[in-house]
Structure 1
Amino acid sequence: MTLVLDLRPVVLVTGILLTALGATMLVPALVDAIAGNPDWQVFAASSAATTLVGVTFYTATRGMSRTLSTRQAMLMTVVVWIALVTAGALPFLWSGVVPSYTDAFFEAMSGLTTTGATVITGLDDAPPGILLWRGMLQWLGGLGIIVMAVAVLPMLQIGGMQVFKAEAFDTPEKILPRATQISGSMTLIFVAFTAICAVAYMIAGMLPAEALIHAMTTVATGGFSTRDTSIGFYQDAAIEWVAVVFMIVGSIPFLLYIQVLQGRPLAIWRDQQVRTFLTVLALLVLIGWLVVEQTLTELFGGPGAFRAVVFNTVSIMTGTGYASADYGLWGAQSIAFFFIIMFIGGCAGSTSCGIKIFRFQVLFAEVRERLARVLYPHGVFVKRFNGRPLDPRVPLAVTTFIFLYLATFAVLSIALQMTGLDLLTAMSGAGSAISNVGPGLGDIIGPAGNYQSLNDTAKWLLSLGMLLGRLELFTVLVLFLPQFWRS
């Protein structure tokens, strides 16, 4: 077999992004230096090592064309993500907050994929630089996910994402002329939402440093917290409602916010995906309340019980993974409820995760057409999404994606159980990883626990699950096909 894939553009982009990541490590280094914490040296060394590798990659391939083929774009997406996680793990390892590189890699993967699963204990007393770095990883990961969803996945036609390519670039009413401008505009919006969220948290009673870190992980729907007990540490209604609002904000397509700023204030509500997302979310809150009302009323009282349902339902469905209480104690029905909703996710083009709402819409449209054809065999039916006819290939792509998603979940669950985990931990861990949610279910990895006690094999399997879920499965799995590397 002859390898004909030119890797130089992939190395070039990887070098540029590693250099940028190395520069960002200087921010927590400065924070630690100001706080008098010796960990500033850890971040300085990590920055130097990462920047050196990045500059070397860039220098070796400088002058190369940055135009990528489809195969190069797929490979670049995976290589960049793994390279950034590999480098992002260095501060965790060298600072000593985790005992091994396996734990450091797991934490960095959880951060950049905005999963929110953690192996670090004692967050309440952790160094300020480490807490900030965890927040920055999720913030950078959330921003990268948005750009990838707009500029890369539609081009690769991954899992039906091509339906968004026409809306972004190929119609007369282009949002902005080029993908780079769109990415720049979304970055500014992302920064603005983070700033507004941080101010709202401070008004609600958080300290400025904690407010900033939680704002970064809320808008990115990541879920990393500065406290072992997550948002539940504060037991504050105002803080929880701020989190609910911005978790929802982060789960709506960021392209729509650009349209709003361009003078189309109703663009968000007119979007079919957003309307469905908000409707489903409201229905799930109602169902969750009916399922656990009696138990929660006994634990929290009236208003507190309803707030607990809203907060944790929004957190799990959007893939944020914050917890205000240990919902594993709410009864068997609540465990089943939260297990199911972790697969749903938010909207495509947002920082959210899971299968995503638009795929359920396409699947429903396909089922509805099949049923209509039974009644009217000679009828003409046109499936639409957001008022535009669907490419006939999209339903097949979506159906294939959902099947592969569930198959991957099943395989990962079995593999985790073979490492010695009990059934609930294995299944909820697999679902949480591939859906990028964070907390699982049960005593070990539930909302009151973390992933520190798992064996190394399980952690590497979960890291792979997080990567697969974040990069929409096909982007990673296609690399294992021999045909991918041939002409």
Structure 2
Amino acid sequence: MQFRTIIRILGLLVALFSVTMIPPALVSLIYKDGGGVPFVLAFIFSVIIGLFTWYPNRNEKADLKAREGFLIVVLFWLVLGAFGSLPLIFLEEPNLSLADAVFESFSGLTTTGATVLTGIEFLPKSVLFYRQQLQWFGGMGIIVLAVAVLPMLGVGGMQLYRAETPGPVKDSKMTPRIADTAKHLWYIYVSLTCACTLAYWSAGMEWFDAICHAFSTIAIGGFSTYDASMGHFNSPLINIICVIFLLIAAVNFSLHYAVVANRSLKSYVRDPELKVFLFIQAALVLICFTVLSSQNVFETGDETLNQALFQAVSISTTAGFATDNFSAWPIFLPMLLIFSSFIGGCAGSTGGGLKVVRVFLLYLQGIRELNRLVHPRAIYSIKLGRKALPDKVVEAVWGFFSAYALVFVIIMLMLMGTGMDNITAFSATAACLNNLGPGLGDVASHFGDITDTAKWILTIAMVFGRLEIFTLLVLFTPTFWRG
């Protein structure tokens, strides 16, 4: 294990991350909110630690293997989540505990969107901007940005990319060089963010709110600058814009690149995962609309459709924005939407959850096993579109699902051990492991009232969800350290 090389890379990345403290400080100057000092202190502290870590190891540039790549990615998220909490720790108002600051930082960076804060609209503009910015950087994965803009890292980019990128098939690259791949991903990401910002502004948001909400929309994060989230604006048009960009951000970014590069929409039309994703979204909206209409929850059909569309897409894509208290909706809808977050977005998107392609493959495998019961001697292959998948891919998906379920049960039981009730423990685990945000019960609106122990457990759950279980779980195997 090339530990000094890993330390050198981490030092550089921390120094790079310190630059993200500057924009909130500038926002503080523009709005004169008096909240800039914590960000200046965090910048100085981070850049000094980063450079002091890098300098003694600056000449350590050994070739790294896949396992070093996994370790770097895990350490990267843990270290940056810790450094990201510094401005929140230095804040005088609100005065956050260590557990609260770390929870909020990891929630932002992992695009979970769970918050311990209340009275959000009364916070300094710099703090509001910083929370949204954390989600934006975490959305695509700041590692990919680092590989794109810091080729001097001297690390095999593919090792980092494979460990970072969500989804079961990670060896396919859009362009021959990994740095080019990362750059193209970010070009698309930035372009979508700009388009979303302009759309929000055109619909009536102020520039500050438009930028902040575009950050968390494209990142499928869910942080807002208001306690009422999107409900603050009370605008059906803003809701529709949010839904459109959430759906776009929940699609595999490789598909977006293929469409742009080929100047053709055929890639969308041919993609089986996208078809399944849109079918799931349509089914959820239809179910929500039907139940809400039958219970007369809203006064008009238009309002019912708008609320059903927004909440179904927001929760199922793991964004977690809110226009209404969906936990108070009738019958089974709250649980249905929480369960839909387990599916999440498409592989290669900024969404959380198991990913649509994995759930689809599990379904296809189930159908194959049923067919084998009827025709034991027949040979059935699982096809994704026109492509037959090797059994090892299906086995990997089953392994991932098993690990996901095991981690979920362990975290939920640990939360119940802290005194949390069943519904709260279940929904809090789902909200953090799926990088969703809002839950039910005591965490329906915020996570500020749960114990510090529960916050630390849920912080770990966020990291597990963001790194898709295996990337973190592999570090606990003896084989990883023996190689």
| Aligned pairs for 1:143-162 within 5 A | 143-144=140-141, 147=144, 151=158, 155=162, 161=168
1:60 aligned onto 2:80: no
Please, which of 473, 476, 481 is the counterpart of residue 477 of structure 1? Answer: 473
State the partner residue of 2:118: 121
Contact 2:166 2:349 in 1 (8 A): no
Please, which of 14, 31, 35 is the counterpart of residue 31 of structure 2? Answer: 35
| Aligned pairs for 1:331-342 within 5 A | 331-342=330-341
State the partner residue of 2:427: 428
Count of residue pairs the alignment pairs up? 471
Residue 382 (structure 1) shift: 2.6
Residue 387 (structure 1) shift: 2.6
Please, which of 82, 85, 90 is the counterpart of residue 81 of structure 2? Answer: 85
CA distance in 2, matches of 1:395, 1:361: 11
Deviates more, 1:269-278 or 1:104-113: 269-278
State the partner residue of 1:308: 307
| Aligned pairs for 1:39-438 within 5 A | 39-65=35-61, 67-96=63-92, 97-144=94-141, 147=144, 151=158, 155=162, 161=168, 163-165=169-171, 167-168=172-173, 175-263=174-262, 264-295=264-295, 297-438=296-437
Residue 483 (structure 1) shift: 2.8
Change (3 A) 1:132 1:445: same
Contact 2:112 2:432 in 1 (8 A): yes
Q: Deviations over 1:149-206 (max 9, x none)?
A: x955884699972x342x32xxxxxx31211101101101111100110110011111
Deviates more, 1:18-27 or 1:93-102: 93-102
Change (3 A) 1:26 1:244: same
Q: Deviations over 1:19-54 (max 9, x none)?
A: 111011111111102222332121111011111111
**Secondary structure of the corresponding residue to residue 262 of structure 1:** helix
Partner letter of residue 403 of structure 2? L
**Secondary structure of the corresponding residue to residue 299 of structure 1:** coil
**Secondary structure of the corresponding residue to residue 118 of structure 2:** coil
Contact 2:307 2:324 in 1 (8 A): yes
Partner letter of residue 266 of structure 1? K
Q: Deviations over 1:94-118 (max 9, x none)?
A: 1132421110000000000000000
Contact 2:345 2:355 in 1 (8 A): yes
Contact 1:147 1:183 in 2 (8 A): yes
Change (3 A) 1:308 1:192: same
Partner letter of residue 385 of structure 1? L
Contact 1:115 1:466 in 2 (8 A): yes
Residue 336 (structure 1) shift: 2.1
CA distance in 2, matches of 1:416, 1:353: 21
Change (3 A) 1:409 1:350: same
**Secondary structure of the corresponding residue to residue 261 of structure 1:** helix
Contact 1:327 1:335 in 2 (8 A): yes
Contact 1:159 1:400 in 2 (8 A): no
State the partner residue of 1:456: 452
Change (3 A) 1:145 1:307: farther
Change (3 A) 1:405 1:193: same
Contact 1:159 1:397 in 2 (8 A): no
CA distance in 2, matches of 1:473, 1:102: 22
Q: Deviations over 1:210-234 (max 9, x none)?
A: 1000000000000000001111111
CA distance in 2, matches of 1:36, 1:244: 33
Q: Deviations over 1:79-108 (max 9, x none)?
A: 000110000001111113242111000000
Contact 2:352 2:436 in 1 (8 A): yes
**Secondary structure of the corresponding residue to residue 332 of structure 1:** coil
Change (3 A) 1:186 1:154: closer
CA distance in 1, matches of 2:184, 2:167: 24
Deviates more, 1:198-207 or 1:56-65: 56-65
CA distance in 2, matches of 1:159, 1:50: 28
Contact 1:160 1:397 in 2 (8 A): no
CA distance in 1, matches of 2:481, 2:143: 28
CA distance in 2, matches of 1:110, 1:341: 20
Q: Identity, % of aligned pairs? A: 34
CA distance in 2, matches of 1:292, 1:67: 58
CA distance in 2, matches of 1:63, 1:143: 30
CA distance in 1, matches of 2:468, 2:284: 24
Partner letter of residue 273 of structure 1? E
Contact 2:111 2:219 in 1 (8 A): yes
**Secondary structure of the corresponding residue to residue 24 of structure 1:** helix
CA distance in 2, matches of 1:151, 1:315: 32
Q: Deviations over 1:64-93 (max 9, x none)?
A: 336421211111111000110000001111
Q: Structure 1: which 5+ runs fail to align?
A: 169-174
Contact 1:124 1:228 in 2 (8 A): yes
Contact 1:158 1:474 in 2 (8 A): no
Q: TM-score, length-normalised on structure 2?
A: 0.93
Deviates more, 1:82-91 or 1:327-336: 327-336
CA distance in 2, matches of 1:475, 1:434: 14
Change (3 A) 1:378 1:298: closer
CA distance in 2, matches of 1:347, 1:324: 24
Partner letter of residue 84 of structure 2? G
Q: Structure 2: which 5+ runs fail to align?
A: 146-156
Deviates more, 1:187-196 or 1:369-378: 369-378
Change (3 A) 1:284 1:156: same
Change (3 A) 1:118 1:366: same
Partner letter of residue 376 of structure 2? P
CA distance in 1, matches of 2:338, 2:418: 21
Partner letter of residue 111 of structure 2? T
Change (3 A) 1:340 1:363: same
Q: TM-score, length-normalised on structure 1?
A: 0.92
Residue 315 (structure 1) shift: 0.6
